[in-house]
Amino acid sequence: MGRRKIPPRVPMPMQAPVVRRGNFHEVALGYTREQAMAEASRCLQCKKPTCQAGCPVEVDCKGFIAHLAQGDVEGAFAVIRHTNSLPAVCGRVCPQEKQCERACKLAPTGEPIAIGRLERFVADAYYTSDACASAIAAASQCRMPQGDVRVACVGSGPSSLTAAGLLAALGAQVTVFEGLHEIGGVLVYGIPEFRLPKRIVATEVEHLRRLGVEFRTNWVVGQTIGLRALLEQGFQAVFVGTGAGLPRFPGIPGESLLGVYSANEYLTRVNLMRAYEFPRADTPLPQGQRVTVVGGGNVAMDAARTALRLGAEAVTIVYRRTQAEMPCRREELEHAVEEGVRVRELVAPVAFEGDGNGRLSGLRVEHMVLGEPDDSGRRRPVSAGTTEVLPTDLCIIGIGTGPNPVLLRATPELACNRWGYIVTDPETGETSIPMVFAGGDIVTGAATVVLAMGAGRRAAQEIARRLGLV
């Protein structure tokens, strides 16, 4: 009997580049039911699936894909929701190509199963009105809330939402404290609408709310209330997922010029504060015609593509290494280039130049060459000895972030490492304060949504064990 012939991967429908660069609608249009079933039918249903081990939240990829191949969306959704509280989000922004899809047995062919796209389809196609059916549940059914078991989650990004969902499904009374006026953390302030529509985040949050999770906005833990005070007020455990939202700048002359923005501020204005809808939304909008973005990660790609959609005549990304070393997803880089973003490799910023009236007029960059590998294993960029000035009236800095300092300053007994991130037990997520756990970017530094979710899940499992919920 011959080997089964595997059909090619089903392509994802997309907005055309010339169209999408002029709007904030989602770029990827999603599979139809027929396309999703066709892609699911490509799965080999391996006896020893490796894809699940590649997922930080351990989604049973083989299981949900088997249901989907038969057209059973409800069954597929139930399998995903067993471990993943944010499937519609993960299906859009997780780097599946480095995780579950890389571990797929078909990866060597260059066409692994499109696991992320299938997860997105399942989540979009099925959101039940029954909160129990849509919960992350470690048991086969939702449990009645146990009023004597109270857990606080600080921050409402992906790690906290994951922890909250798991614990609520197990019967804990969970309260999430968010410093901003909307729930979602980086999912709402950092990722643009064209990559992650905010209605998707709102839907996921609403299901957690219906599961019993309480959300308190405009509560800055460390200012409005202290971490110790939460424990004193009856919370038996606290999970800290405040993220790494402190912008980093290159520390070069001219950073105070008007027209120099951190990617955090720029994207927060546009996403959370809806500046892209100006003047219907009244958030002031930084205007730029010749925009330069510094950095090579997903945040830099988001900023560049946003600037293009806001009407910039030219948008250029400058990066001190080559495109091959950029840490962003390949898909995001390809989309940016398709839309008209220019990429300048092997250049590093050395100074911002002004017009004499305090406004940015140019970015002086130094030409680089790649030398020996650094501690990360990537070849270190070194100066080639020449510079040039790029005409620029708006520069967005997307070179990374640091830990949110508010809670850390107010809680000196919380042990941190030399970079200012919270130190935790790698197995449980517990900090130096008993029954206080942490996970996500506040522990690891800026990373991916799904890695933060994985940390939230591990900590929640330990909290549940300690509190007798499992």
* Interacting residues of 262 by C-beta distance below 8 A, sequence separation 6+: 247, 248, 249, 396, 397, 398
* Pairing state between β 379-391 and 394-397: unpaired
**Are the C-beta atoms of 323 and 342 separated by less than 8 Å?**
no
Residue 154 has pLDDT above 50, yes or no: yes
Alpha-carbon torsion angle 310, 300, 193, 201, nearest 10: -160
What pLDDT was estimated at residue 80?
Answer: 95
Domain assignments of the chain as residue spans, ordered by start = 17-125, 146-245+403-466, 250-401
pLDDT tens-place string over residues 156-187: 999 999 999 999 999 999 999 999 999 999 99
What pLDDT was estimated at residue 286?
Answer: 82
Tell me the pLDDT band of 280, cut-offs 50, 70 and 90. Answer: confident
* Interacting residues of 276 by C-beta distance below 8 A, sequence separation 6+: 24, 193, 270, 285, 306, 309, 310
- Residue 144: exposed, middle, or buried by beta-carbon count in 10 A (0-12, 13-18, 19+)? exposed
**Are the C-beta atoms of 124 and 88 separated by less than 8 Å?**
yes
What pLDDT was estimated at residue 277?
Answer: 85
**Are the C-beta atoms of 142 and 131 separated by less than 8 Å?**
yes
Residue 269 has pLDDT above 90, yes or no: yes
* Interacting residues of 107 by C-beta distance below 8 A, sequence separation 6+: 101
Q: Specify the fold of 17-125.
A: Fumarate Reductase Iron-sulfur Protein; Chain B, domain 2 (1.10.1060)
Tell me the pLDDT band of 287, cut-offs 50, 70 and 90. Answer: confident
pLDDT tens-place string over residues 20-45: 999 999 999 999 999 999 999 999 99
**Are the C-beta atoms of 389 and 341 separated by less than 8 Å?**
no
d(CA 126, CA 342): 39
**What residue spans of 310-349 are helical by DSSP H?**
330-339
What pLDDT was estimated at residue 281?
Answer: 85
Residue type, 53: A
pLDDT tens-place string over residues 80-102: 988 998 999 999 999 999 999 99
Q: Specify the fold of 250-401.
A: FAD/NAD(P)-binding domain (3.50.50)
pLDDT tens-place string over residues 418-437: 999 999 999 999 999 999 99
Task: Express as a percent the part of the chain with pLDDT over 70.
Answer: 95
- Say which CATH superfamily domain 146-245+403-466 falls into: FAD/NAD(P)-binding domain (3.50.50.60)
Tell me the pLDDT band of 140, cut-offs 50, 70 and 90. Answer: very low
pLDDT tens-place string over residues 40-67: 999 999 999 999 999 999 999 999 999 9
pLDDT tens-place string over residues 449-461: 999 999 999 999 9
Task: Enter the pTM of the model.
Answer: 0.92
The first and second tokens of residue 434, run together, are 């008993």
d(CA 365, CA 367): 7
Do 146-245+403-466 and 250-401 share a fold? Answer: yes
pLDDT tens-place string over residues 317-375: 999 999 999 999 999 999 999 999 999 999 999 999 999 999 999 999 999 999 988 88
What average pLDDT does the structure give for the chain?
Answer: 92
What pLDDT was estimated at residue 186?
Answer: 94
Higher pLDDT, 470 or 453: 453
What pLDDT was estimated at residue 139?
Answer: 42
Query: What is the arithmetic mean of pLDDT over 408-427?
Result: 95
Query: What is the arithmetic mean of pLDDT over 283-301?
Result: 93
Of 140-144, 236-240, 260-264, 320-324, minimum mean pLDDT range? 140-144
The first and second tokens of residue 216, run together, are 């308190």
Alpha-carbon torsion angle 244, 249, 250, 255, nearest 10: 180
Tell me the pLDDT band of 127, cut-offs 50, 70 and 90. Answer: low
Helix axes 61-69, 115-125, angle to 10 degrees: 60
What pLDDT was estimated at residue 428?
Answer: 96
